[in-house]
Chains A and B, each alone.
Chain A
């Protein structure tokens, strides 16, 4: 195997293969990395139910195996967990599965010296979008007419969202769901990066057969992960078929097109200046000053938060300096992961606000955050 190779792979362990999605490759890679002493710890998402996942940091192989399976309805970003790992173990090594937004967050943190990218193994996961857990439960009751507690498996295939219970299997197209107001989170709808090209590996079921995972190897570290797992006899690989590669590219192309359409639909420019000011004030006046958006933000990297330096909570009744500074700080690094909207108890559409600012600055400086380590953040001056 070489860098740039595309292969299909699957787990040799029957239990992992059954529990994990698409042949259980990612779980096997993580266990192999621990067994082969490639890494000290891994971060994984422990499944509590179909709608709840709890991120854990562990060096126990059995714990990792329990984490297998995909969770589309648990939108969690693992970046801050990786930051905490490097705060505690500056010389440690870490492996984690990463959606494009996890990987981009980690690269932005690495640029700000919070994460050592040389010591982080990123197992990229193709991502067509995630869903909010509550929205999903409501959607199951209304659109699918399934009791959310009975769901045992969920899957996205060919633009359709499939839910399986013990008795039945139902599929509805994502377009239809999104028109009805359900489906993916808003920021996922306009996200154009579906294949994590910035990670070490990109794994996904696009272009792979039943119980297989399509893997593209991007870096030396990715190659190490694969070879380590093969040497330990945990996974098996085969070269990807031409047809598979084409299907994967086509799926990616379709997803990008849909994302562009959503982007146009959501980000309608507000021409009038005063109207624009009122738009920002009206949505931000609901802020209750909990600072949750700051804690979850994967690209927020101040040692001592600058946004609360001049901040008086009395100000939060309208647009506050806390939000203004955050809008400025994230304008070069915002990756549109949607965490701030998810956690906001006042339901302020923060991601949309941040993206409105960030789109301007990122277009101006031609900077796409979290794609590689070569270009420094736009705020930096040579």
Chain B
């Protein structure tokens, strides 16, 4: 006997999204979304890092090669970093990675940066909903499709 939910999963492709959360803000933000029972699609694989500045570009590239359809950087708003300047570093890395991935032929939406604070639970859920829709619209990552052949 099939549950309704199972059958639905077979029919519809859902993206896999790697989400890097800063321990001090966006991770608490995602917690807040859960506590507040804000609905969000189960497409993200959350990785907690101590600071958005800890997100090594290698992590992002590895995630994309291993089959992520998108990678999201989330961290404290500029000026609010727990370690003073970690998010500036994240921003610089993000900008450079973006150029590289664009040249490689990946769409703009596959790498995103969003500042989310600890109290922005509803914004967090809203953001995940928005990204999931965007990725669903553009389909699976070409890197994964071509690479896994």
Contacts and interface: CB of A to CB of B under 8 A. Distances in A.
B65 A324 contact: yes
Contact of A324 (B61, B105, B142): B61
B125 to A, nearest CB: 30
A328 B97 contact: yes
Nearest to B147: A318
A356 B88 contact: no
B96 A277 contact: no
Given A318-B147, A324-B61, A381-B92, A357 B100 contact: yes
Nearest to A360: B99
Dominant SS among interface residues on chain B: helix
Most interface-central of B61, B92, B97 (chain A CB within 10 A): B61
Lowest 6 CB-CB distances: which A-B pairs, in order? A277-B105, A276-B105, A273-B105, A324-B61, A310-B62, A381-B89
B6 interface: no
Nearest to A364: B99
B103 interface: yes
Nearest to A310: B62
A273 to B, nearest CB: 4
Interface of A: 273-278, 280-281, 306, 309-310, 315, 318-321, 324-325, 327-328, 331-332, 356-357, 360-361, 364, 378-379, 381-382
Dominant SS among interface residues on chain A: helix
A361 B99 contact: yes
8 contacts: A273-B106, A276-B103, A277-B104, A281-B146, A281-B147, A318-B146, A325-B58, A360-B103
A306 B85 CA distance: 22
A360 B98 CA distance: 11
Interface extent on B, as a size class?
20 to 34
B31 interface: no
A259 B32 CA distance: 57
Most interface-central of A275, A277, A321 (chain B CB within 10 A): A277
B106 to A, nearest CB: 7
B57 interface: yes
Contacts of A277: 104-106, 142-143, 146
Contacts of B61: 321, 324-325, 328
